[in-house]
Amino acid sequence: MRAKVLEKKQLEMAKVAGLLNSQIQQLDGLSSRIEKTKTSLESIYESEEELDIFEITSYKNFLGKIVNDVKNQQIIIEHTKIILKSKQVEVNAAFKEVKILEKLKEKQEKSFYQNYEYVQSKEIDDIASTRYHRISA
């Protein structure tokens, strides 16, 4: 039962880790959009055509929105990292419980076999003493 709890916790942790990876990919995508937008804006400035104020303002507004999205995404990533750490703690606790039960099981098994060997040796001694008494009588 505790092994199933451990598996469940590991699955939850894996889901959070996958979510974190997708969030990091989104952040990378936003970063690349910032670079592309900056490159486009620089090419507008460097072109010999007449500057279009509306286009420049649109690029700057878009750039500001992306920068804001990056900040929000970083906050989301930090929250997900906190959740992942708590899931790791839960998995470690469940793993320790499973290990404790395995150790107890091993000790009980060892005790059982020691007791079994003791009982067997007693039976063999009884059989041997019964035979000896039959032969000597």
Domain boundaries along the sequence of the chain? 2-102
Check residue 137 and give its pLDDT.
Answer: 64
Q: What tens digit of pLDDT does each residue of 102-119 get?
A: 899 999 999 999 999 999
How many CA atoms within 13 Å lie on the side-chain side of 111?
6
Closest by alpha carbon to 13, among 87, 92, 94, 98?
Answer: 87
Fold of 2-102: Helix Hairpins (1.10.287)
| Lookup result for tokens 């620089």 | 42
69 DSSP 8-state letter: H
Query: Any residues with CB less than 8 A from the CB of 41 and at least 6 apart, and which?
Result: 56, 59, 60, 63
Q: What is the pLDDT of residues 65-106, one digit of tens each?
A: 999 999 999 999 999 999 999 999 999 999 999 899 889 999
